[in-house]
Structure 1
Amino acid sequence: MSLYTFAKNVCAAIFYPKYKIKVEGKENVPDQGPVLICSNHISNYDPIVVGITAPRDIYFMAKEELFEKKALGWLLRKIHAFPVKRGMKDREALRKALGVLKDQNVLGLFPEGTRSKTGELKKGLAGAGFFALRSEATVIPCAIIGSYKSKEPLRVVYGKPVPMAELRERKASSQEVTDVIMGDIQKLLDHNR
């Protein structure tokens, strides 16, 4: 058993009962091939929740500061996280993320770039659109609905793939593609609240 699988099982055993997690739409995530999962961001726990509810292993970008402590950096790399410098173009992180997709894996992103304090969806950064356009990935919108403090179940909804063919064909801008992805996340939030 890999460390990723072990960590996923341990986190699932803790998080599912604690937050009464309910998952919908897992069948929308393809069994194979490159996938880009784009989710809203309401808590530091979101990467764990997306990681344990998705049917496939996910690679996440994580802020570079988390890798400064050797032990934590080692662990994060073992569970498929890789560093990204925030607030600037990090070519190495971009290459690594595109490599994840080229190798037919799943890349998880939070296009807002930072947590929403209000729970309302904020404007997404162009990075999500960049990865969607520069790869053949199936783009799956994901909505985390509820609150980690509520007694209500936390719901994770995976939507149908974002139609990318026309956007790729007419060479839409990265920001335009991100806006389309964010629109699909908003629809999931609106329809499931």
Structure 2
Amino acid sequence: MYSFSAHALKIILSLFGRLKIYNKDKMPRSGGSVIACTHTGWVDILWLGISILPIQIHYMAKKELFQTPFLKWLMRNLNAFPVDRENPGPSTIKVPKKLLKENKVVGIFPSGTRTSEEVPLKRGAVTIAASSKVPIIPVAYHGPNNFKDLFKRFKPKIIYGDPIYLPEDMPKKEGMEVMMKDLNDTLKELQNELKNK
């Protein structure tokens, strides 16, 4: 279902403008990893999944998207899993840790919400990556944010950054703070770089 849907979406969305992908070679060729992408609208979710084909992304999504039978079926078939953003607990990282142990890719939007404003990043991506000993791949998107924007011929662009690893030469707590800063700084740099391309 995922592969078919992604390729079908690629054809449909390409009618509105071809996706430009930069530095995809920075994505590790094997092993699990956490993709942390900027999030300004629902379209970036689709383009991110398309940009990384044939690799499949397992998206962390708010539990509210699983409340109706159809949406629940759709989200499951698109490799999404629910998370309670209001009351995160130890069980929140159980599913992504299992996926990463199976060498899969987990997609997280660290802003936690769709916004074009600068907001503090949530710690989920760093916590999961550090606990699973896998890298975070920072990714920035610039382009249409919603269905209406697609008709403006606003060409979508995605850029991948260098993997961010938990430093091995310091305590884990301090290392996670370094990862948070690196992720925040890198996403800002990638967004600015995309705007000038």
What is the aligned partner in structure 2 of residue 99 from structure 1? 98
In structure 2, how many angstroms separate the alpha carbons of the residues matched to 1:10 and 1:68?
Answer: 25
Does the CA-based 8 Å contact 2:166-2:175 persist in structure 1? no
Q: 1:152 to 1:45 in 2, by over 3 A?
A: closer
TM-score scaled by length of structure 1: 0.88
Question: Which amino acid is the alignment partner of residue 133 of structure 1?
Answer: A
Alpha-carbon shift at residue 120 of structure 1 (Å) = 3.7
Q: 1:156 to 1:168 in 2, by over 3 A?
A: farther
Query: CA RMSD for the aligned pairs?
Result: 1.9
Alpha-carbon shift at residue 4 of structure 1 (Å) = 0.8
TM-score scaled by length of structure 2: 0.87
Does the CA-based 8 Å contact 1:36-1:132 persist in structure 2? yes
In structure 1, how many angstroms separate the alpha carbons of the residues matched to 2:122 and 2:138?
Answer: 15
The alignment status of 1:125 with 2:127, answered yes or no, reads no
Alpha-carbon shift at residue 90 of structure 1 (Å) = 3.8
Alpha-carbon shift at residue 165 of structure 1 (Å) = 4.4
What is the aligned partner in structure 2 of residue 14 from structure 1? 12
Does the CA-based 8 Å contact 1:126-1:175 persist in structure 2? no
Does the CA-based 8 Å contact 1:28-1:158 persist in structure 2? yes
5 Å-filtered alignment, 1:21-40, equals: 21-40=19-38
Alpha-carbon shift at residue 179 of structure 1 (Å) = 2.8
The alignment status of 1:75 with 2:74, answered yes or no, reads yes
Q: 1:90 to 1:71 in 2, by over 3 A?
A: farther
Question: Which amino acid is the alignment partner of residue 171 of structure 2?
Answer: R
What is the aligned partner in structure 2 of residue 153 from structure 1? 155
Q: 1:27 to 1:91 in 2, by over 3 A?
A: same
Does the CA-based 8 Å contact 2:49-2:56 persist in structure 1? yes
